Copies of this chain bind each other. A is one copy, B any other.
Amino acid sequence: MNPQRVNDLIEVYRTGLLNDTIPFWTRHAPDREFGGFLTFLDADGTVVSTDKPMWVAGRITWLFARLYNVVEPKPQWLELARHGIDFLRKHGFDDDGRMFYSVTRDGRPLRKRRYLFTETFAAIGLAEYAKAAKDEQARNESCDLFKLIMRYHTTPGMLEPKGIPGTRALKSHAMPMILLATSQVLRQVDDDPIYDQVIDASLHEVLNHFVNTDYEVLLENVGPDGEFLDEPEGREVNPGHAIETSWFIMEEARHRGNDPELIRRACQILDWSLKFGWDTRHGGLLYFKDCKGYPNPKYEHDMKLWWPHNEAIYATLLAHHLTGDGKYADWHTKLHDWAYRHFPDPEHGEWFGYLHRDGSVSSTLKGNMWKGPFHLPRMQLNCWKLLEEMRTGH
């Protein structure tokens, strides 16, 4: 990648982050009346729902703390992170220490789900805030939450099963991948060896159970020991999810002094997923595919969602940086160009999240139960900082 291209891209990601993405959310999201954030927004920031999705609550908190830690110690960002922490502490937790999936505007619990994702996103929010504010209490809360997650995850029977026990045991790729990413954040503030242990175990699980060499994919659901299930859920591939995992693994390789074997395995997942997920008809990444070529039954299977494109833009840039292979620079350009042609909202800023297969906008929502300021600003931040590293050579 030539220096001019590097500089141009830094400008795109940096100004996109600081002058577009972040201002959209700082302008519309803080709820100064009831605390926390209103993130369920239409294109222009209109509040579509005052309910507060707690995945988003943890992630937006993480984001502001992360900006403070990585970009510059702006008091506004620290205050917003603190604003998020306050709401999480006050309204996020059930009596058993687990968290709610959604609450009303004033913090009354609406739903609690069997999955542990609200907890993982709150854990990274608390950890990143602890680092920013040097807040020992937040650090301890984050570590305790991580231990609770592991207790629920590893103790048979603690999480209510989704299916009838005994008939079909399946595990989901989402869990080791999120434990990997969560541990990577938490070990910044805690030197407990548990994080490296969980990372090792997660890598083992992803690389040996979910990676399927027969079909050259990373599967979303497998049996307890990686058994292939020849049913729609067992054949399901989410290329964007696999690509996100690939760069979590690359980051781990970087953390280990550019571990070549980890880079190789991560790039293999990336290569497969790009090849399998790219839509040769309309461009962009398809959301779900079946590894044997059957139709995936989810309504959204052939939609183009913003976040797989965010993950793929960063993953290809990082792969290019780590391997020097020009094919990743080409993929990065291809993904970047398709995404920037289709997702940004030219009128109100930020990105649309949900496009039809042909790239036309399906939903004008900027936020909902899952979308908020996370994948897009994280990509912009990570790409910007990586490109600076590439520019300066360290």
Which residues does A use to contact B, with CB under 8 Å? Answer: 40, 42, 46, 48-51, 100, 104, 108-112, 162-164, 167-168, 231-232, 294-295, 297, 299-303, 354, 356-358, 362-365, 368-369
Contact = CB atoms under 8 A, between A and B. Distances in A.
B49 A104 contact: no
A55 to B, nearest CB: 14
A51 B163 CA distance: 13
A42 B42 CA distance: 36
Given A299-B300, A301-B363, A167 B109 contact: yes
B110 A168 contact: yes
Contact of A48 (B111, B294, B301, B363): B294
Nearest to A230: B50
Nearest to A108: B167
A110 to B, nearest CB: 5
Contacts of A109: 164, 167
A108 B51 CA distance: 39
Nearest to A368: B297
A42 B232 CA distance: 12
One complex includes copies of this chain to the number of 2
Overall SS of chain A's interface: loop
A206 B364 CA distance: 31
A76 to B, nearest CB: 29
A295 B363 contact: yes
A327 to B, nearest CB: 31
Nearest to A100: B164
Given A163-B111, A164-B111, A295 B365 contact: yes
A165 B144 CA distance: 27
A238 to B, nearest CB: 14
B231 A51 contact: yes
A297 B42 contact: no
Contact of A364 (B40, B162, B295, B357): B295
A219 B164 CA distance: 33
Contacts of A364: 295
A63 to B, nearest CB: 21
B363 A357 contact: no
Nearest to A109: B164
A167 B357 contact: no
A49 B232 contact: yes
Nearest to A168: B110
Nearest to A363: B295
Contacts of A231: 49-51
User: Which of A108, A109, A297, A358 has the most C-beta atoms of chain B within 10 angstroms of its own C-beta?
Assistant: A297
